[in-house]
Amino acid sequence: MKSINPYNNQLNKEYKELSGKQIESIIANVEHAQKKYKHSTYGERSEKMKSLAELLRKNKTQYARLMTLEMGKLLGESEAEIEKCAWVCDYYADNAEIFLADEVIKSDASRSYVHFQPLGIVLAVMPWNFPFWQVFRFAAPALMAGNGALLKHASNVPGCAMEIEKIIREAGFPDNLFRTLLIPGKMVGEVIENPLVKAATLTGSEKAGSSVAEKAGKNLKKTVMELGGSDPFIVLEDAEFESCCQTAVTARMINTGQSCIAAKRFIVVEDIANAFEDRVKELMQDRKAGNPANSDTQLAPLAKPEFVEDIDRQVKESIEMGATLLLGGKRMKGKGNFYEPTVLTNVTPDMPVFKEETFGPVLSVIRVQNEKEAIEMANQSQYGLGGCVWTSSVERGEKIARTVESGAMFVNGMTKSDPRLPFGGIKNSGYGRELSHYGIKEFVNIKTIWIA
């Protein structure tokens, strides 16, 4: 398993994959640790989780540089990601006991209530684009609920995977409660089949999610799936123009466009479409490409060479089908996995940049005549993760937010995840929720207690 720097495609380090026997041994060790850990108090777990948040902040630069080295994220974005991980640790340290307190419900019993118990070992299959955040938004609630955890991280960020296991142990959690499995994707099925593994969560592609869900379903195990999106960014004629344009580019370019909740389909009413296209083109074209570890770099590489090929295919096929190229549209010369900041307009629903999830610095504009058509265009997608709408009328924006088919909608703000709010999607974007009190309840036994 190789860690390769996307900036120059040079090898960082090689890691040895685990054998079948090693995997079985690790799972048995996690189960042994979890059986003891589940009897710990919320206060004991909270103390460890607070220590974990402290360690993350203390070593922020170290972890951020590792992320940047392995998957090419701008260093400033990497540092912000570590801060967010510390936040989610603090959030569940402070609130897990409240969220999982017995819930009294009146019935024909003299006393009846709901009691929440950990399931056991939860397998997390995580992606490379947010190597720490994706893991911690699962791990913090799972561990606070009393579960054990196995991490199968993306194969291009093994260093991050091992460092996460190390820091959780250093925070005081039992040695084998959280373990990383350095294995190829084809071995995930065997892990799910292990009777000691009780549930699985995955963030990734539809294909990977379907495969894991099928295997878990055959073995009657609970799953949560976050499978990407093609989020609409709706711009109405009464939007605050400059703020909207600035946010549009930020929402598209975060993590070089490699985010499930990055805005991808910019649905703009005809009255302001020309002005919107001109402004976002100005904002996109001035970004300086370079080493993502340098503070003055504004455009980072994509995580793998094949991702450059894929985004280039989507752009070229869309142009052949009638999209107009306003900016960029090709791979950048030189070393590294760089693709030019790209703006396409006259995009229609049959084009790849509309139908597929675009993971790269490509901003696609879809023109519509009015609000009704904007909503219809937003919903004309196989995905339903997030989205946003821009208008000077909050009432109008809220009405549209209720109508768009997605797991989240933001009014006059870019879509983002927040530990306090549930996160997840509908349609091909998956099912189940992470974060908030909903997320911690995904992997517990919701048990009814009835007393005569």
Q: Say yes or no: 286 and 138 in one domain.
A: no
* Whether 226 is catalytic: yes
Say if 324 falls within a structural domain. yes
Say if 423 falls within a structural domain. no
Q: Say yes or no: 28 and 114 in one domain.
A: yes
What is the DSSP track for 23-62?
Answer: HHHHHHHHHHHHHHHTTS-HHHHHHHHHHHHHHHHHTHHH
Q: Say yes or no: 217 and 81 in one domain.
A: yes
Q: Say yes or no: 165 and 40 in one domain.
A: yes
Query: Tell me, what's the pLDDT at 356?
Result: 98
Of 85, 244, 260, 388, catalytic = 260
Pairing mode of beta strands 121-125, 197-203: parallel
Nearest CA among 367, 166, 384, 364 for reference residue 273 = 367
Q: Where are the alpha helices (DSSP H) in 286-362?
A: 305-320, 352-355
Q: Say yes or no: 159 and 293 in one domain.
A: no
Q: Where are the alpha helices (DSSP H) in 201-257?
A: 206-218, 241-253
Total domains, the chain: 2
Say if 140 falls within a structural domain. yes
Q: Say yes or no: 66 and 13 in one domain.
A: yes
Identity (one letter) of the amino acid at 257? G
The CATH number covering residue 335 comes to: 3.40.309.10
Q: Which two tokens stand for residue 329?
A: 């549209």
**What is the extent of the structural domain holding 370?**
231-418
Say if 24 falls within a structural domain. yes
CA dihedral 319, 322, 323, 328 (to 10 degrees): 30
Cβ-Cβ contacts under 8 Å for 192 (sequence gap 6 or more): 123, 200, 212, 215, 216, 219, 221
CA dihedral 441, 157, 171, 176 (to 10 degrees): 70
The reported pTM is: 0.97
Distance CA 66, CA 301 (A): 15
Question: What parts of the chain have a pLDDT lower than 50?
Answer: none
Nearest CA among 219, 179, 177 for reference residue 195 = 219
Of 163, 226, 434, 442, catalytic = 226
The CATH number covering residue 10 comes to: 3.40.605.10
Measured at the CA of 402, the angle between CA 401 and CA 403, to 5 degrees, comes to: 90
Say if 424 falls within a structural domain. no
DSSP-derived 3-state class of residue 274: helix
Say if 141 falls within a structural domain. yes
Query: Tell me, what's the pLDDT at 355?
Result: 97
Q: Say yes or no: 219 and 329 in one domain.
A: no
Say if 347 falls within a structural domain. yes
Q: Say yes or no: 98 and 136 in one domain.
A: yes
Interior/surface letters 228-246, b for 16+ CB within 10 angstroms, e for the rest:
bbbbbbbbbeebeeeebbe
Query: Tell me, what's the pLDDT at 286?
Result: 82
Distance CA 19, CA 398 (A): 52
Q: Say yes or no: 95 and 113 in one domain.
A: yes
Q: Which residue has the tokens 């609130």?
A: 95
Q: Say yes or no: 298 and 441 in one domain.
A: no
Say if 278 falls within a structural domain. yes
Q: Say yes or no: 332 and 245 in one domain.
A: yes
Q: Say yes or no: 239 and 366 in one domain.
A: yes
* Whether 260 is catalytic: yes
Distance CA 142, CA 160 (A): 19
